[in-house]
Amino acid sequence: MSSTNPRRPGPRVLVSGASISGLTIACWLARHGFAVTVVERAPHLRPGGHALDVRGPALEVAARMGILTTLRDRSTKLTGIAVVDSAGREIFRSTESTLTGGRLDSPDVEILRDDLCEVLYEAVGSQVEYVFGDSIASLTQDESGVDVTFVTAAPRRFELVIGADGVGSGVRRIAFGPDAQFLHAFGDLYVATFGMPNFLGLERWQVMYQEPDSVGALVMGLRKDLDARVYLGFNAPKGLDYDVRDSAAQKRLLADRVAGAGWVIPQITEHMLRASDFHFYSLSQVRMHRWSHGRIVLVGDAGYAVSLGTGQATSVAMVGAYVLAGELALHRDDLVRGLAAYEDGLRAYVTRNQDIALEQNTSAYVSKDEGESDPTGGIPDFGALTLPFALKDYPDRVRLP
């Protein structure tokens, strides 16, 4: 367990999770004059992950944070995608869209997850305390605050606890109950992302291979001298029961499912088994009637995961973090009231994004049932699915360096 501990004002807020929503909320709360501590189970910022999209109102959030130019500088800058058959022969190509980012002429930003986390971490600066290599063990709250015990660190008390710890949120499990109440898988797609040597020599390019209703892979290379980022997945119509925290078991499961597939899947599988930045997930949403319970609140995927289907999850998380921090700043003398304002202001936007994801998934299944064939795998236009959201102005109390 490691910690940084700058001198900070109050109110004291604990954020669980140092990924997109956690770092975004930490940055805004620090600007609003809160004393923020971020606890992260990993020993450092987590590497790897898939490409993320910052769209619509999230672009404005990034602009107000002063990081939009940096995001554009560090974006994937992809130039297109090719689809190949089992022998590696190209059967389709596009220089107008990619599978992960949609249309290339969009004003939106596609950026690797770990690059976005680094940008957000740098934007927060030294105004936030970080506790890496630890996690929350228990939460006990009363009218004035929350007593927190950690797996490693000494117990502490905070005025508010924010769960920004993803789809498998530990804070949600402790404060709201078992995952089964809120986590809803839809579709039958299971995907892993990881890095591997760029043995295909890709430069700002994607290559996709798909076996009908079965195994698929997407390899994305930004530079020939850098590792490529891989998506490797399969369909399981009856669903799967697996341990979300056992990556070794997930790797074995994935290797078994893709065994015998064509193209360069065998080589990709070998690299997957050795990958240290392996992430495995299903197409799913988190739906809850409430995102707060007393002085404990959820933000981003922990409270309202949208899914991969619309390319909006990152944007919804960044907008949600902005709104939560702002409403807490407006109601710093009554934080519970601020949580209510956050839910009231954001609920319709989140619900509509989730409904669109379900509609997209249903449309995909109708196409399968009707026997339609699409060699592109259905390259989406994510920009057309982006919803507007009017951001309030929440004046900063503290100007971060």
How far is it, in rounded angstroms, from Cα 287 to Cα 290? 9
Provide the token pair at 240. Answer: 């799967």
Point out which residues pair with 141 in neighbouring strands.
146
Q: 193 with 151: CB under 8 angstroms?
A: no
pLDDT averaged per 10 residues in sequence order, the chain, 401 residues = 58 97 98 97 91 96 98 97 96 94 94 96 93 98 97 98 96 96 84 96 97 91 96 86 87 95 97 94 91 98 88 95 98 97 98 90 52 56 90 84 62
| pLDDT at res. 367 | 45
- The CATH number of whichever domain residue 120 belongs to comes to 3.50.50.60
How far lies 96's CA from each of 80, 111, 112, 379, in Å?
A: 6, 17, 20, 10
- Are residues 157 and 290 located together in one domain of the fold? yes
Residue 88 within any structural domain of the chain: no
E strand intervals along 122-215 = 129-132, 136-141, 146-150, 156-158, 160-163, 183-196, 205-210
| pLDDT at res. 143 | 95
Residue 102 within any structural domain of the chain: no
- Are residues 59 and 196 located together in one domain of the fold? no
Q: Which pTM was predicted? A: 0.92
How far is it, in rounded angstroms, from Cα 333 to Cα 169? 28
Q: 302 with 292: CB under 8 angstroms?
A: no
User: Residue 379: what are its φ and ψ, rounded to 5°?
Assistant: -65, 125
- Are residues 42 and 136 located together in one domain of the fold? yes
Place of tokens 């450092």: 44
Range of the domain at 221: 187-284
How far is it, in rounded angstroms, from Cα 11 to Cα 144? 11
How far is it, in rounded angstroms, from Cα 109 to Cα 78? 11
- Tell how far CA 87 is from the center of its chain: 33
How far is it, in rounded angstroms, from Cα 165 to Cα 221? 28
Supply the Cα-derived Rg of the chain in whole angstroms: 21
Under DSSP, the state recorded for 295 is T
- Are residues 211 and 245 located together in one domain of the fold? yes
Provide the token pair at 48. Answer: 């790897």
Burial of 366 per CB tally in 10 Å (0-12, 13-18, 19+): exposed
- Are residues 152 and 133 located together in one domain of the fold? yes
How far is it, in rounded angstroms, from Cα 86 to Cα 319? 41
How far is it, in rounded angstroms, from Cα 151 to Cα 253? 29
Amino acid letter for position 277:
D
How far is it, in rounded angstroms, from Cα 307 to Cα 385? 13
How far is it, in rounded angstroms, from Cα 231 to Cα 196? 11
- Are residues 198 and 172 located together in one domain of the fold? no
- Are residues 37 and 175 located together in one domain of the fold? yes
Last residue of a domain, one of 284, 317, 346: 284
Provide the token pair at 209. Answer: 């291979």
- Are residues 132 and 68 located together in one domain of the fold? yes
Residue 61 within any structural domain of the chain: yes
- Are residues 203 and 171 located together in one domain of the fold? no
E strand intervals along 287-351 = 292-293, 296-298
- Are residues 295 and 269 located together in one domain of the fold? no
How far is it, in rounded angstroms, from Cα 345 to Cα 338? 10
How far is it, in rounded angstroms, from Cα 174 to Cα 296? 10
- Are residues 199 and 158 located together in one domain of the fold? no
Provide the token pair at 270. Answer: 């070998």
Last residue of a domain, one of 267, 284, 301: 284
Count up the domains in the chain and report the number: 2
Pairing of strands 228-235, 216-221: antiparallel
E strand intervals along 58-104 = 81-84, 90-94, 97-98, 102-103
- Are residues 177 and 264 located together in one domain of the fold? no
How far is it, in rounded angstroms, from Cα 111 to Cα 105? 15
